[in-house]
Amino acid sequence: MNRILVIGGTSDVGESFVKRFHKMGKSVIVTGRREQKLKELQESLIGVDVYAMDIGNLRTLPSHVDTIFSRFPDVDTVWENLGIQYSSDIKDVSTTTHEKVSEEIVVNVTAPMILARHFIPRLLKQSTETNFMITSSGLGFVPVGSLFPIYCPAKAAIHAYPVGIRQALKGTNVNVLELVPPFVGGTELGAEHKDKVAKLTPMGLEEFTDDIFKVWDETQSKDLKEVVAGSAVNRVDAWRSSIGEILVNSGLGG
């Protein structure tokens, strides 16, 4: 990972990783919707490039990918770090709106898949080993539907997606990585319902960052599939030893 494009890197896990990549001397391009935040990030991290884009506007995504790769043709790693989380109660229709349901699906599922459709061919054209990484969630493996009836299945889809495209990209120069966070504290994700998870003990953002980068320090990207830390480890291990094993034994891989 030398020239890293971070889709969604202006806050929380994304920003923490961007700072760590920058500290390591990596070349980083950060995208985000908030131009002021991008400006602040660029001013504080000398050498980081930024690009403003709204992933909610699906029609513009292909042209954004074209522009990004025309400006930064040597990108070897694309990390799609997208997520929005709302809490609602399926028993009470008033606890959410159809606009929020749609937004969760667009941000968590549709936009990442549309972007990947355009990013992957670009990475395949590179002459060196490349990486495509996407952020899922421990909730995609073990759902808590009583709190997050849309977010959990959306992230389950994002877990299945890299498994599938890894099969399709076997033998190519593109490594497919799935970043699987547990409940990480100190982030903006789900800020409107922090009271509902107040009794849970989150993993600290810095601890999560440290643990993930330790995995990268010890293992090459081509040998990784899920990159995971904290309480999500057991969830991923359970999947790998069950469904994941079935895939491997069937010859599909993934």
Domains and CATH numbers, the chain: 3-250 (3.40.50.720)
pLDDT at 227 over 80: yes
pLDDT at 229 over 70: yes
Q: Region 25-52: what's the mean pLDDT? A: 94
Report how far residue 43's alpha carbon sits from residue 33's, in angstroms, rounded to the nearest whole number.
17
Taking the alpha carbons of 140, 226, 38, 70 in that order, is the dihedral positive or negative?
negative
Distances (CA, A) of 180 to 124, 134, 136, 164, 183: 24, 9, 5, 16, 10
DSSP-assigned beta bridge partners for residue 32 = 52
Q: What was the pLDDT predicted at 247?
A: 92
Distances (CA, A) of 75 to 32, 67, 126, 195, 197: 17, 12, 8, 40, 38
Q: What was the pLDDT predicted at 11?
A: 87
pLDDT at 120 over 90: yes
Q: What SS3 class is residue 169?
A: coil
pLDDT at 190 over 70: no
Do the beta carbons of residue 89 and residue 144 sit within 8 Å? Answer: no
Q: What was the pLDDT predicted at 153?
A: 97
Least confident of 109-118, 167-176, 186-195, 227-236: 186-195
Q: What was the pLDDT predicted at 196?
A: 75
Beta strands per DSSP E along the chain: 3-7, 27-32, 49-52, 77-80, 130-135, 174-180, 226-228
pLDDT digits (tens, 9 = 90+) for 154-165: 999 999 999 999
Q: What b/e sequence results for 83-109 when a residue is b if at least 16 CB atoms lie within 10 Å of its CB, and e otherwise? A: bbbbbbeeeeeeebeeeeeeebbbbbb
Report how far residue 235's alpha carbon sits from residue 182's, in angstroms, rounded to the nearest whole number.
10
Question: What's 86's DSSP letter?
Answer: -
Q: Give the ranges where 169-231 is alpha helix by DSSP (H).
A: 205-218
Q: What was the pLDDT predicted at 191?
A: 66
Report how far residue 134's alpha carbon sits from residue 147's, in angstroms, rounded to the nearest whole number.
23
Report the mean per-residue pLDDT for the chain: 93
What percent of the chain shows pLDDT beyond 70? 98
pLDDT digits (tens, 9 = 90+) for 140-185: 999 999 999 999 999 999 999 999 999 999 999 999 999 999 999 8
Structure tokens, 251? 């010859």
Using a cut of 0.85, tell me whether the model's pTM lies above it: yes
Do the beta carbons of residue 36 and residue 10 sit within 8 Å? Answer: no
